[in-house]
Amino acid sequence: MKKYNLLGVGIQVNRELEEHEKSYISNFVADILRRKYPYLSCNYLDIVTMLYNTQMYVVEDKVGLSSVNYIYQDKSIYYSCKKDLNNIDELILHECIHKIQDKRDKHNKLMQMGNCEFTLSKVKGLYFNEAAIQYIVLSLLNKKSEIVEYRGIKLKNYNLSYCSLITNLIYQIMLLVNEENILVRSTIEANNDFNYKMIDYFGEKEFYKIRDNFDKIAEYQFRNDINDVSENLINTYKETTKIIAENYFTKCLKYVDKLDEIDELKNKLN
């Protein structure tokens, strides 16, 4: 999901997807989600039905826009005419998950998308939710990590094409807390369980700072070339890793009473 409204940037719609195209995408996404995460409350048919009933369009390609976009204003998914709809890649999965996690009230007003809350005054946790979806998508596709370098900082990264630094941060968090079931269910089913769990691990004020920093980092990355990231971007990333590590290990050390628990914490820190 992007902050821009696709309908207001001059996109030309070529056609609606054919029934067989929608059926293929809907069944593929439902199958891969249910196979990987059988504990989800939504079943296979729920996901297929939801996606199949979603308006999907092929549009003219436009510089600066992603090749796949879920637009919550009209609850539709738009595919670039250059996109291969027979190849369900991370972008298609990502935007289909946005549709699945779209949670509205009885008046059809958007309340929540995964871990992202929509209030009258602001959107809370937009890129924290984006990172959570990327964690899920990369897991679904069994993507392998690689060591990359940003301004002298070596990162074990899982994705270079979209929000790479916040994706790295969500993996750091998951390495420490090991709460994949809660992350996945909270992200797909659109509830705050994972946010509450993060407050338990890091503290309320600290979690909200972490979440706000995800937004800052993503915005910095969108405004800079990935190989020429700004000083503000690196400083915010370092600050976030420090908050995550200091608060997690400080809390854990209070409850350590065995040597093997010390070894486990050392391994996580490394």
Q: Where are the alpha helices (DSSP H) in the chain?
A: 19-36, 44-52, 90-100, 126-140, 164-177, 180-189, 193-202, 204-223, 231-253, 259-269
Query: Could you tell me which of 133, 254, 128, 138 has the C-alpha nearest to residue 197?
Result: 128
**Long-range contacts of the stretch 87-91 (C-beta < 8 A, 24+):** 88/25, 88/28, 88/29, 88/32, 89/141, 90/134, 90/137, 90/138, 90/141, 90/143, 90/159, 90/161, 90/162, 91/66, 91/67, 91/162
Instruction: Identify the pLDDT of residue 197.
Output: 94
- In angstroms, rounded to a whole number, what is the distance separating the alpha carbons of residues 32 and 92? 13
Q: Which residue has the higher pLDDT, 223 or 82?
A: 82
3-state secondary structure labels for all residues of 116-143? EEECCCCEECHHHHHHHHHHHHHHHCCC
The pLDDT tens digits of the residues spanning 153-183 come to: 777 766 555 678 898 899 999 989 989 999 9
Instruction: Identify the pLDDT of residue 185.
Output: 95
Confidence of residue 148 (pLDDT cuts 50, 70, 90): confident
Dihedral through CA 2, CA 181, CA 208, CA 210, nearest 10?
-80
At residue 9, φ and ψ (nearest 5 deg) are -120, 20
204: alpha, beta or left? (left if phi > 0; alpha if psi -120 to 50): alpha
CA 168 and chain centroid, separation = 11
Confidence of residue 229 (pLDDT cuts 50, 70, 90): low
Confidence of residue 224 (pLDDT cuts 50, 70, 90): low
**What mean pLDDT is predicted for residues 114-131?**
91
**What mean pLDDT is predicted for residues 85-92?**
95
Query: Over pLDDT 90: what percentage of the chain?
Result: 63
Helix (H, G, I), strand (E, B) or coil at 104: strand
Q: Pairing mode, if any, of strands 76-80 and 55-59? A: parallel
Average pLDDT, the chain: 87
**What mean pLDDT is predicted for residues 86-97?**
96
Instruction: Identify the pLDDT of residue 151.
Output: 64
Query: Over pLDDT 70: what percentage of the chain?
Result: 87
The pLDDT tens digits of the residues spanning 185-216 come to: 999 999 999 999 999 999 999 999 999 999 99
- In angstroms, rounded to a whole number, what is the distance separating the alpha carbons of residues 201 and 21? 43
The total of other beta-carbon atoms located within 10 Å of residue 71's CB is 22
The pLDDT tens digits of the residues spanning 9-41 come to: 667 899 999 999 999 999 999 999 999 999 999
- In angstroms, rounded to a whole number, what is the distance separating the alpha carbons of residues 47 and 50? 5
Instruction: With a cut of 80, say whether residue 256 has pLDDT above it.
Output: no
- In angstroms, rounded to a whole number, what is the distance separating the alpha carbons of residues 64 and 212? 24
Tokens of 269: 């820190």
Instruction: Identify the pLDDT of residue 58.
Output: 95
